[in-house]
């Protein structure tokens, strides 16, 4: 703790203010979802489960939650498989194309979501493949933005991987695939889980990309919330938000047990 006391108090004050900026809006969503009035005002009116109930019986929000869940699950499965395969290649190959490829796979998260969504929509419409505003089309968009997270997470864990472990297995008679499955895969399994959790959350919270990819009967949770906020501003959206916040916080706690968070996010 002696190091922490080295932080100037002005810094501590601003740091706590920053934490407040990050966390207060989340707390407000929870309060708004549990508030008994129509709109969270000061002073608050008291607690009730009215909006939670409204959420659990709302056809719009429930089906949106379902769509988001299905899309996130599908995108996570595909991204985890394709992303892990690509990460193994990227960390093992000594080819000169590796740095280029690595940058290439990160592009979808660099491109503005609105632009990527628009590009996909225009592509789906003009090529006549019939994917515009359909579930598979939505899924494809989500795979593009979740795959980079799996690739980054798994590559990070493979960088420090000791190849001699795998070679030991091979020298004991295991085939390349068996050695990979029994040794490497076991060791990078936590990173794969972490990557797939990231993929799931990123997909679940994706809004700007889906702007042109959803349809009135195919709304994801963020797009249903957005519509409700622009036209009605009902606390049902906040109640839906409570479930999403719980999902994210639990996933982050689980991820922090699986991998060293800093290794992935610190540059």
Q: Which among 46-54, 59-67, 187-195, 201-209 is the span making contact with another protein, rule CB under 8 A?
A: 201-209
Query: Cα–Cα distance between 251 and 6 in angstroms, integer?
Result: 32
- Minimum CB separation of residue 75 from another protein in Å reads 11
Measured in degrees and rounded to the nearest 5, phi and psi for residue 29 equal -60, -45
Residue 17 CA from chain centroid, whole number:
26
- Write each residue from 34 to 63 as x if it is in contact with another protein (CB under 8 A), else as -, in one continuous string: -----xxxxx--------------------
Select the residue interacting with another protein from 73, 113, 165, 193 (CB under 8 A).
113
Select the residue interacting with another protein from 59, 94, 96, 217 (CB under 8 A).
94
Q: In the Cβ-directed half-sphere of 264, how many Cα atoms lie within 13 Å?
A: 21
What is the SS3 assignment for 35? strand
Strands (E), the chain: none
Select the residue interacting with another protein from 52, 64, 67, 151 (CB under 8 A).
151
Q: Does 140 bind another protein (CB under 8 A)?
A: yes
- Minimum CB separation of residue 53 from another protein in Å reads 19
Select the residue interacting with another protein from 62, 73, 81, 258 (CB under 8 A).
81
- Quote the tokens at residue 203: 């997909």
- Minimum CB separation of residue 22 from another protein in Å reads 4
Q: Does 26 bind another protein (CB under 8 A)?
A: yes
Select the residue interacting with another protein from 67, 155, 226, 259 (CB under 8 A).
226
Q: Does 110 bind another protein (CB under 8 A)?
A: yes
User: How many residues touch another protein (CB under 8 A)?
Assistant: 105
Q: Which among 48-56, 69-77, 187-195, 230-238 is the span making contact with another protein, rule CB under 8 A?
A: 230-238
Q: Does 32 bind another protein (CB under 8 A)?
A: yes
Assess contact for 51 and 235: CB atoms under 8 A: yes
Q: Does 10 bind another protein (CB under 8 A)?
A: yes
What is the SS3 assignment for 170? helix
Measured in degrees and rounded to the nearest 5, phi and psi for residue 247 equal -60, -45
Assess contact for 46 and 116: CB atoms under 8 A: no
Query: Cα–Cα distance between 264 and 267 in angstroms, integer?
Result: 8
Select the residue interacting with another protein from 52, 166, 195, 196 (CB under 8 A).
166
- Minimum CB separation of residue 62 from another protein in Å reads 17
For the chain, helix, strand, coil in percent to 5 are 75, 0, 20
**Which letter does DSSP use for residue 180 in this model?**
I
Q: Which among 52-60, 69-77, 120-128, 185-193 is the span making contact with another protein, rule CB under 8 A?
A: 120-128
Query: Cα–Cα distance between 23 and 190 in angstroms, integer?
Result: 28
Q: Does 89 bind another protein (CB under 8 A)?
A: yes
Q: Between 56 and 109, whose beta carbon lies closer to another protein?
A: 109
Query: Cα–Cα distance between 132 and 183 in angstroms, integer?
Result: 43
């Amino acid at each position: 703790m002696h190091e922490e006391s080295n932080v100037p108090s002005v810094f501590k004050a601003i740091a706590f203010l920053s934490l407040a900026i990050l966390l207060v809006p989340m707390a407000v969503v929870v309060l708004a979802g549990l508030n008994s009035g129509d709109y969270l005002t000061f002073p608050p009116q008291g607690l009730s489960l009215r909006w939670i109930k409204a959420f659990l019986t709302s056809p719009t929000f429930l089906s949106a939650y379902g769509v988001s869940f299905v899309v996130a699950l599908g995108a996570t499965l595909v991204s985890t498989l394709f992303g892990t395969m690509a990460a193994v290649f990227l960390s093992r190959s000594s080819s000169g194309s590796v740095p280029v490829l690595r940058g290439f796979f990160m592009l979808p998260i660099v491109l503005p979501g609105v632009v990527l969504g628009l590009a996909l929509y225009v592509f789906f419409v003009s090529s006549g493949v019939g994917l515009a505003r359909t579930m598979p089309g939505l899924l494809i968009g989500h795979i593009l933005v979740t795959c980079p997270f799996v690739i980054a997470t798994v590559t990070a864990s493979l960088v420090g991987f000791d190849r001699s472990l795998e070679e030991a297995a091979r020298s004991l008679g295991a085939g390349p695939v068996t050695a990979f499955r029994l040794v490497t895969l076991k060791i990078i399994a936590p990173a794969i889980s972490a990557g797939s959790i990231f993929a799931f959350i990123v997909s679940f919270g994706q809004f700007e990309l889906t702007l042109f990819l959803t349809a009135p009967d195919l709304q994801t949770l963020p797009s249903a919330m957005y519509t409700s906020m622009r036209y009605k501003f009902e606390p049902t959206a906040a109640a839906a938000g409570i479930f999403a916040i719980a999902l994210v916080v639990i996933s982050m706690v689980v991820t922090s047990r699986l991998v060293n968070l800093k290794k992935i996010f610190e540059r």
